[in-house]
Structure 1
Amino acid sequence: MADSKMAVSQWSPGFVQELLPAAQKTALLYNLSYLCLGNFSNLERIIRTRAVETQLLFGSSDATMLKCILTSENLVQSLFPMLVTAVEKNKPILAVKFLEKARIWIKDIINDVERIVEKYELHNKDVASSTSDVIQEKIDTDKKITEQDQELKMIKKNQNKMKSELQKTTEELTEIEKKINSKSQEIQEFARSITKTSKGLGIFAAIVPFIGLIVKSIYDAVNDPEHTAHLKALEAELNILIADKTAVKQEQWQIELQMIDWQMKAARASFDRNLIPDPIHLNEVQKSLTRIQEILIQLKNFWENVAQLLDNLEQKTFVGEDLIEDLAELKDEFLDSIKIATEAWCCFGVGCKRASVMFKLQTKDAYKFLEVSPSSLSKDEWQIEYESVKKRLEEIDTPQAVTSSDKPAISE
């Protein structure tokens, strides 16, 4: 597992909340695909099948998030109190026993997340296959058409313009992401180099896997002005990069909304000529599913890192003979670390609960549009349904998509 993958996701406990906008977009984009292609019976069947599969996959994702919630609660309610007892009674062997339990919990989660990520990968291939089916049927139909009318040409021109602008913002966002990862990694390495010189901070870094809180503790515990100044400078640079990322993401979302609007105009024009529209929204569904898969991979990497940190804690603090003697001396630092770790893990649990609620809602309500065939809608009814979906897309909170996982825990 590369440390660079963990740099951003570990800044704070809330990165799982990025699942919310991705899952909302998935359902709404399916709805648009259904509206655009549902007038063709074969394509309606394809969209319906893939949407139901996604619904079921979200149900499995909810089960995985529930396991994350329960494990977070076990850490807070069981492991941490038991570690406190072991430290207070100076019984490192007992602490090792408790850490072994936590390792089993976490290994179980890692296996679960791996399985669900594999399911997303297979499902995304199915959606890609469906997109190809739609394209082929469109090609067969369009052979009968020799030229496009003026309206479709104008729409195509605007779509290409939006596509170019979107590509530009995507490239810009990718570059900023690289810089954020690099800067976060730099902060991570510097912070952990400081914790190596302090046994108390070293224990804290093992129990609290969120780098933002480690940085705060360094500010509180380290009296070296040079270290503090350097750390603040690195944080200031990261703050600027994150502000840039937020601005570009908002710009990107506005362009995506404009593209969706032009795509729907093209679909409407195609309906009037009895043409099959492009399966553009299915492509966007794939992107949203891929985003969810990426976040779940982050979640797997996160738990793997937590398992490694707890293993290091066991080996260096409770098993290493040179540190067992210092356990009593470090008791206050350890207990303080447990207190902050409890708060951090409670926050992480809250994020997982929100993701779980989102998956439940997506499974229950977000796919009710499948109950009505688009072919049964009049033009006015179709337009009303489209405007409703478009409004819900616009209401997805773009700043929320840039969650606390991207924001430093310590502000200037």
Structure 2
Amino acid sequence: MSQELMIASRPDFITELLPSARRTALLYHLSYLSLAKFPSLERILRERALETQILFGSSEVLLLKCAATSKNLVSTLLPGLKAAVEKDKSILAIKSLEKARAWITEIVDKVEQMVDRYDKHNQSVASCTSDVIKEKSETEKKLNEVNVAIKKLENDVKQDEEQLKQNSEEIRRIDATMAQLNQELQECIRQASRKRRRLGFFTALVPFVGPLVNAIFGANIDAGLAAKIKALSDQLSQLSTEKSKLRNKEWTIHIRLTTLQLKLASLKIAEGIIPDPIHLKDVQTCLSRIQQILIQIMKFWETVSVMLEALKEETFANEHFIEDSEMKEIFLESITTAQKHWKLFGEACLYAKGIFSLQNKSAYLFLEISPSSLSEKEWQKRYDSVIVELNKISPDPFASKPTAAIAQ
């Protein structure tokens, strides 16, 4: 039984990272403009935004580390394993694997530290939000009569916020279902690989779902197991499509909601009220999402580490392996295929690193000018410009970039 399955061909955690990073700076910019004529709040927000900029600079370095490690796997580890097998040097192979695990352990430690930094930074942004809310309540006391237009916009905003909440809950439900199905699929893959040497080597070297499933369908495995794998794969593909639609819907609601919030902010500013710090709350959401994605990256590398350890213990600890010409040929083929997938993954990490680099260098230049100093016309021009940029952000920045799917 042989067939190609339509499975996502890119790393989901990198895909979701980029829009969140891009959106964060723009939301800061909107918050900054909303606080025009409130200098103490401007100063607090500027400090938080600069902290975020520094954090993104560190994230850029981390992604570069991921890309460099992928490159080392392609250029050093896998060729080293190939040479060790060709020369019947199991000790050399074991040393190569131990070196790779040391690289990966370093990445896991650095990602863990970065997760903690995002957690502390998000708390400081939450504190900034509280300061804005406190100041807002003071200014509202000065208003005797609320504008009818403000009430209507507030109701529209609430409706969109409820839609967004429902959409997010549906995405979480799909994520939970996909996690369970992925676990079942991984177990089926392990069962299949235990029965075929070729699959066993390939599974140990390639932590990407799509290539693994396609390799299994090309190996004439047990019909019952094959049917189960296909059913799980089909379910995952369907859920992935549903999730993609929900992500697009989420983005549409975000854009519409942002427009409504901007109109509401303009009206409240005209009345002398500080707008709700909704964009700061969105900043917190983006930072939390980035933090969760970093946790996924950490788990991914931990999985790779376990795979390499198993490869060392179950393959190269067996001296008979290097004497079996058929097994050697199968293993060498697996290495060649693994190199291709790791190369694509490294390229995806470099692309994401580039996004963080741009965010770090240019996205926060707006902090150099106080919004209080802007004329009404210039203020509106900047507001409109930020909205245009927000609308340009795609929930799928890899739409034209084929990369390797990650086993999560």
Higher mean alpha-carbon deviation, 131-140 vs 230-239, is at 230-239
Question: In 2 relative to 1, CA 327–83 (structure 1 residues): closer, same or farther, beyond 3 Å?
Answer: farther
Q: Distance in 2 between matches of 1:129 and 1:223?
A: 57
- The answer as to whether partners of 1:12 and 1:210 remain within 8 angstroms in 2 is no
Q: Distance in 2 between matches of 1:311 and 1:206?
A: 9
The alpha carbon displacement at 1:404 in A equals 8.6
| Match for residue 309 of structure 2 among 308, 311, 321 | 311
**1:377 match:** 374
Secondary structure of residue in 1 paired with 2:393: coil
Note the 1:285-324 alignment, pairs <5 A.
285-320=283-318, 324=321
Tell me whether 1:366 sits opposite 2:363 in the alignment.
yes
- The answer as to whether partners of 2:265 and 2:275 remain within 8 angstroms in 1 is yes
**2:106 match:** 108
**2:55 match:** 57
- Share of identical aligned residues, percent? 44
Question: Which sections of structure 2, spanning at least 5 residues, go unmatched?
Answer: 1-7
The alpha carbon displacement at 1:241 in A equals 1.1
The alpha carbon displacement at 1:85 in A equals 0.7
Secondary structure of residue in 1 paired with 2:145: coil
Q: Distance in 2 between matches of 1:229 and 1:402?
A: 30
Secondary structure of residue in 2 paired with 1:253: helix
Question: In 2 relative to 1, CA 184–62 (structure 1 residues): closer, same or farther, beyond 3 Å?
Answer: same
Higher mean alpha-carbon deviation, 301-310 vs 225-234, is at 225-234
Note the 1:177-196 alignment, pairs <5 A.
177-196=175-194
Q: Distance in 2 between matches of 1:407 and 1:155?
A: 44
Q: Distance in 1 between matches of 2:179 and 2:246?
A: 16
- The answer as to whether partners of 1:18 and 1:402 remain within 8 angstroms in 2 is no
State the one-letter code of the partner of 2:108.
Answer: I
Which digits, 9 at most, give the CA deviation of each residue in 1:270-317, with x for residues without a partner? Answer: 111111111100000001111111111111111111011000000000
The alpha carbon displacement at 1:196 in A equals 1.4
Question: Which sections of structure 1, spanning at least 5 residues, go unmatched?
Answer: 1-9
Which digits, 9 at most, give the CA deviation of each residue in 1:7-65, with x for residues without a partner? Answer: xxx98546323221110000110011111113310111011111111111111111111
- The answer as to whether partners of 1:17 and 1:354 remain within 8 angstroms in 2 is no
Note the 1:94-243 alignment, pairs <5 A.
94-243=92-241
Q: Scaled by the length of structure 2, what TM-score is found?
A: 0.93
The alpha carbon displacement at 1:225 in A equals 4.0
Question: In 2 relative to 1, CA 273–384 (structure 1 residues): closer, same or farther, beyond 3 Å?
Answer: same
Secondary structure of residue in 2 paired with 1:221: coil
CA RMSD, 1 decimal = 2.2
- The answer as to whether partners of 2:122 and 2:284 remain within 8 angstroms in 1 is yes
Which digits, 9 at most, give the CA deviation of each residue in 1:229-280, with x for residues without a partner? Answer: 3322322222211111111111111111111111111110111111111110
The alpha carbon displacement at 1:329 in A equals 3.0
Higher mean alpha-carbon deviation, 330-339 vs 195-204, is at 195-204
Secondary structure of residue in 2 paired with 1:330: helix
Which digits, 9 at most, give the CA deviation of each residue in 1:50-104, with x for residues without a partner? Answer: 1111111111111111111111111111111110011111221111111111111
Question: In 2 relative to 1, CA 102–198 (structure 1 residues): closer, same or farther, beyond 3 Å?
Answer: same
Question: In 2 relative to 1, CA 170–18 (structure 1 residues): closer, same or farther, beyond 3 Å?
Answer: closer
**1:30 match:** 28
The alpha carbon displacement at 1:217 in A equals 0.9
Secondary structure of residue in 1 paired with 2:218: helix
Q: Distance in 2 between matches of 1:404 and 1:187?
A: 26
Question: In 2 relative to 1, CA 12–260 (structure 1 residues): closer, same or farther, beyond 3 Å?
Answer: closer
**1:4 match:** none
Q: Scaled by the length of structure 1, what TM-score is found?
A: 0.92
The structure 1 segments of at least 4 consecutive aligned residues displaced by more than 6 Å after TM superposition are 401-409
**1:264 match:** 262
**2:76 match:** 78
The alpha carbon displacement at 1:326 in A equals 6.2
- The answer as to whether partners of 1:33 and 1:281 remain within 8 angstroms in 2 is yes
- The answer as to whether partners of 2:11 and 2:404 remain within 8 angstroms in 1 is no
Higher mean alpha-carbon deviation, 175-184 vs 248-257, is at 175-184
Tell me whether 1:345 sits opposite 2:347 in the alignment.
no
Secondary structure of residue in 2 paired with 1:222: coil
Which digits, 9 at most, give the CA deviation of each residue in 1:325-358, with x for residues without a partner? Answer: 6654311111111011101110110011011101
State the one-letter code of the partner of 1:42.
Answer: S
Tell me whether 1:334 sits opposite 2:358 in the alignment.
no
Secondary structure of residue in 1 paired with 2:146: coil
Higher mean alpha-carbon deviation, 203-212 vs 183-192, is at 183-192
Q: Distance in 1 between matches of 2:125 and 2:115?
A: 15
Question: In 2 relative to 1, CA 404–18 (structure 1 residues): closer, same or farther, beyond 3 Å?
Answer: farther
State the one-letter code of the partner of 2:306.
Answer: Q
